[in-house]
Structure 1
Amino acid sequence: MRPHLALIEDDPDFALMCRSYLELVGFTVTWAMDTRAGKAALYESGVDLAVLDLGLPDGSGLELLRALRSTSRLPVIVVSGRGAEADRVAGLEIGADDYLVKPFSQRELVARIHAVLRRSQPPQTPDVLQVGALRIDSGARQASVAGVPLELRPKEYALLEMLAAAPARVFSADQLLERIWGSSWWQPATVVEHVYRLRGKLARTTGPAPRITTVRGYGYRLDP
């Protein structure tokens, strides 16, 4: 089966170049030029991944991504000329699976697509993870402690789920960056910040929540 991509990009020359190359290497591509057509394309049956530009003529690509994330876990790669750290962080925090700054090669785009598709189809894991009072429903993408839901951002949830899938196992910052952010070129401070947030949210629960332990010089583990 040819993976089906939604390409949401308003620059016709760039979009046609991308679509031609992606179709040449084995993808089916639906192209949309604005947020209205993009929304329809994102919810089209059979779409496996979206490539989303942020600067669209009738709205913000980030708002389109935010709306999608309220109902769907469809993998999304943001492509944008906005390369500042704040822009990349905003896209990833809202729920992008990867962020690619223009200009880039078509080969790199294809490699990123394959990597995100692999991550979006992990080996079978239990639908429910239980670590002490922590319960993670992978199907619903919800976490709770002693029955009380945790309000988590997408990356916070992904980090907690990864740690909870292997309690007491130590994960390095590079492993966490590669699995959750899609690349280890992100600074380890990104992991430190998310661990800090998670610890705060776990500490504020009324139940006996598991704790995230720092193993100095190695990384992090989740202890019941």
Structure 2
Amino acid sequence: MKQHILIVEDEAGLAELLRDYLLMADYDVDILYEGGSAVEWVREHNPALVLLDLMLPGKDGMAICREVRQFSQVPIIMTTARVEEIDRLLGLELGADDYVCKPYSPREVVARVRSVLRRAGVQMTGSVAQLTGIMLDEGAFKATVNGTNLDLTPVEFRLLNTFMAQPGRVFARGHLLDNLYDDQRVVSDRTIDTHIKNLRKKLEAQLPDQDVIQSVYGVGYKLEIPD
């Protein structure tokens, strides 16, 4: 099944050019030329990824991203001609997965789409990964333990997805960071410790007798399969 991409872009020529490149890359594509209907469209159609312009008529990209994140972890790539660092950071803090500044090459955008989808673990929409008691629905971007929703952030979901893909493997902090961010932000290795701490807390609330994510001194972290 082809993955479904939503483009929200008021520049018709640019939106249609992106659509053509994405179609050639074997995605299904829809376009919205204003922001007012974007949130409900995402709620109804559950796309694999949203390409979201910052400046839109009807409702701007920041507001759309904020509202979508209240009910969905669909990957979002924000696009804009505003290159100020504060806007860039704000967009990512609202829950965007990546950020592309105009002017850009359509080929670059397609590459970013592939990268974000790969890192979000949604190459096959609706695929499910499961270890004893822990289930990841990669299509829905949802994690549960014994049927209880973990309510993970996008970064926490990607972390758990990485661990579950290779249980028992020890991951260095740098490797984990490389799989979490597409925006080339500069962060300390210790940033991963904070995300791990938060993920552990959510797992331990549902698996109080299990040390699921273990520290390996001087190296990094690994996931042990619960009994």
TM superposition score normalised by structure 2? 0.70
1:169 shift after superposition: 0.9
CA distance in 2, matches of 1:135, 1:56: 40
Is residue 23 from structure 1 mapped to residue 20 from structure 2 by the alignment? yes
Distance 1:51 1:220, change over 3 A: same
Deviation at 1:159, TM superposition (A): 1.2
Map 1:31-110 onto structure 2 (within 5 A): 31-39=31-39, 41-42=41-42, 47-72=47-72, 74-80=74-80, 81=82, 83-84=85-86, 86-91=89-94, 94=95, 96-110=96-110
- Quote the RMSD (CA, aligned, Å): 3.7
Could you tell me whether the CA contact under 8 Å between 1:175 and 1:184 is conserved in 2? no
- CA, structure 1 residues 154+203, in 2 after alignment: closer, same or farther (shift >3 Å)? same
Instruction: Give CA deviations for 1:182-222 in whole Å, capped at 9, x if unaligned.
Output: 46655234423211322344455572132433334432212
Matched, 1:177 2:177: yes
- Per-residue CA deviations over 1:31-51 (Å, capped at 9, x if unaligned) read 323222334654675954321
> What is aligned with 2:161?
161
Aligned equivalents of 2:124, 2:156: Cα separation in 1: 18
Where does the alignment leave 5 or more consecutive residues of structure 1 unmatched? none
Residue 136 (structure 1) aligned with residue 135 (structure 2): yes
2:53 and 2:78 in contact (8 A); partners too? yes
The aligned length equals 214
Structure 2 gap segments, 5+ residues each:
none
Q: Which moved more, 1:206-215 or 1:109-118?
A: 206-215
- How far did 1:127 drift? 4.0
CA distance in 1, matches of 2:157, 2:58: 31
8 Å contact 2:73–2:154 — kept in the other structure?
no
CA distance 1:97–1:89, shift in 2 (3 Å): closer
CA spacing shift, 1:20–1:147, aligned 2, 3 Å: closer
Q: 5 Å matches for 1:145-224?
A: 149-182=149-182, 186-187=186-187, 188-203=189-204, 207-223=208-224, 224=226
> TM-score normalized by structure 1?
0.71
